[in-house]
Copies of this chain bind each other. A is one copy, B any other.
Amino acid sequence: MSKQLTMSDIARMAGVSTATVSRVLSNHPMVREETRDRILSLVKEHRYEPSYVARNLSTRRTHTIGVVVDDISNPFFMELAKGVELVLQKNGYTMLLTSSGWDPAKEADLIRTLLRNRVDGVLLTPVHPESESTEVMRRNGVPFVVMNCHSDNESVSYVSTDNVEGGRLAAELMLRTNLTRFLCLSGVPHQSTSERAEGFIHEIRSHGRGNDLAVYDEVRTFDDGYNIVPSLIARNRLDAVSTGIFTSNDFVAMGILEGLIAHRIPVPSQVSVIGYDDIAFAERYRIPLTTVIQAKHSMGQLAADELMELIQDRNHNPARLLLKPRLIVRDSCTAAQSHEPRSAVP
């Protein structure tokens, strides 16, 4: 209570040296059973908790992993973090979690703090795949795995989703139904969202429907989606018999749906909408949303697994994983069946 117990306290009480206590606590085999029991019971009795701080200094390993995500309160990243935590806990590691707020400078700062804490490895969702942060880690020889972003650098491990494929899936579905026109609302260039758009566009074109396709850039938020509807109407983009709209995230898709409802445009009979991410309640939105889903949880797990590998074997071959996205068909899209609540009473 008054003063933290230390190993030498236990050693003194047991009438042995600290070396022996240390051996017992780290399961070293070379200890007589009787001694071991005596020490363990003292440890239990006095509720001694060994200091990892001291141990870390001595062993030069911390069993701590730094995790840097863009936004800690964003469900996407937390789903990710949960997968990470699962694996780390199983391997006896703890997690130093921080968030960069999409700011590269802050990201680099956080990495530096993690290095000072001598973390054994880092998992991050980088703002940019190659940056000061990765440079710093490489220089310090700290193993790291990039999440939700792929790197062109051959030597870095990453776990991400195949965004191009995700866009392709959406296009594929739309092509199967007999839509007469396609709209692609893309996000910021050179980011995951634009890869999604790219996949969509490529698939449409390669089916010879490029002429029925229009593309809009910089549509990123719910409000962007809502606000673009009137202008689409003005440009006669929605008066075709049936139009398919692909958006690179669910927020935009929901904005669009809201806009369509406000303008009394029937969904999905006249306009089909496909989003991306399957954020919470996409499933239970006013019009349940067809969307492309990423396996966030596995992404976290796989990344953590890979990091564990890297830590154990420094010249382990970097894994470059691209998870396959999956299309979830719901009411917002022509092909869908009618919506039933998940657990409807029969």
Report the minimal beta-carbon distance from A329 to chain B, rounded to whole angstroms: 19
Question: Is A305 at the interface (CB under 8 A from chain B)?
Answer: no
Query: Which of A144-152, A194-202, A235-243, A281-289 contacts its partner?
Result: A281-289
In the complex, per-residue mask of A79-101: 1 if CB is within 8 Å of any chain B CB, else 0? 10110010001000011111100
Q: Is the CB of B72 within 8 A of A85?
A: yes
Candidates B4, B78, B98; contact of A94 at CB < 8 Å? B98
Interface residues of A in 86-134 (CB under 8 A from B): 89, 94-99, 112-113, 115-118
Q: Is the CB of B78 within 8 A of A47?
A: no
- Chain B residues whose C-beta falls within 8 Å of the C-beta of A303 in the assembled complex: none
Question: How far, in angstroms, from A118 to B117 measured CA to CA in the complex?
Answer: 13
- Chain B residues whose C-beta falls within 8 Å of the C-beta of A317 in the assembled complex: none
Q: Is the CB of A344 within 8 A of B262?
A: yes
Question: How far, in angstroms, from A82 to B81 measured CA to CA in the complex?
Answer: 14
Query: Which of A16-24, A34-42, A53-61, A167-175 contacts its partner?
Result: A53-61
For A, the interface residue count at a CB cutoff of 8 angstroms equals 58
Q: Is the CB of B227 within 8 A of A49?
A: no
Candidates B117, B226, B230; contact of A343 at CB < 8 Å? B226
Question: How far, in angstroms, from A94 to B115 measured CA to CA in the complex?
Answer: 12
Question: Is A162 at the interface (CB under 8 A from chain B)?
Answer: no
- Chain B residues whose C-beta falls within 8 Å of the C-beta of A98 in the assembled complex: 85, 89, 94-95
Report the minimal beta-carbon distance from A62 to chain B, rounded to whole angstroms: 7
Question: How far, in angstroms, from A321 to B140 measured CA to CA in the complex?
Answer: 44
Candidates B4, B136, B345; contact of A230 at CB < 8 Å? B345
Question: Is A223 at the interface (CB under 8 A from chain B)?
Answer: yes
- Chain B residues whose C-beta falls within 8 Å of the C-beta of A52 in the assembled complex: 116-118
Question: How far, in angstroms, from A221 to B21 measured CA to CA in the complex?
Answer: 50
Report the minimal beta-carbon distance from A286 to chain B, rounded to whole angstroms: 4
Question: Is A73 at the interface (CB under 8 A from chain B)?
Answer: yes
Question: Is A254 at the interface (CB under 8 A from chain B)?
Answer: yes
- Chain B residues whose C-beta falls within 8 Å of the C-beta of A112 in the assembled complex: 49
Please name the residue on chain B nearest to A112 by beta carbon.
Answer: B49
Other A-B pairs beyond A73-B79, A94-B96, A226-B344, 17, CB < 8 Å: A1-B139, A1-B141, A51-B116, A51-B118, A52-B116, A53-B56, A53-B118, A54-B57, A95-B96, A95-B98, A222-B343, A223-B342, A223-B343, A227-B345, A262-B344, A281-B285, A286-B286
8 contacts between A and B (CB under 8 A): A1-B140, A57-B57, A73-B78, A95-B97, A95-B98, A226-B343, A258-B341, A280-B280
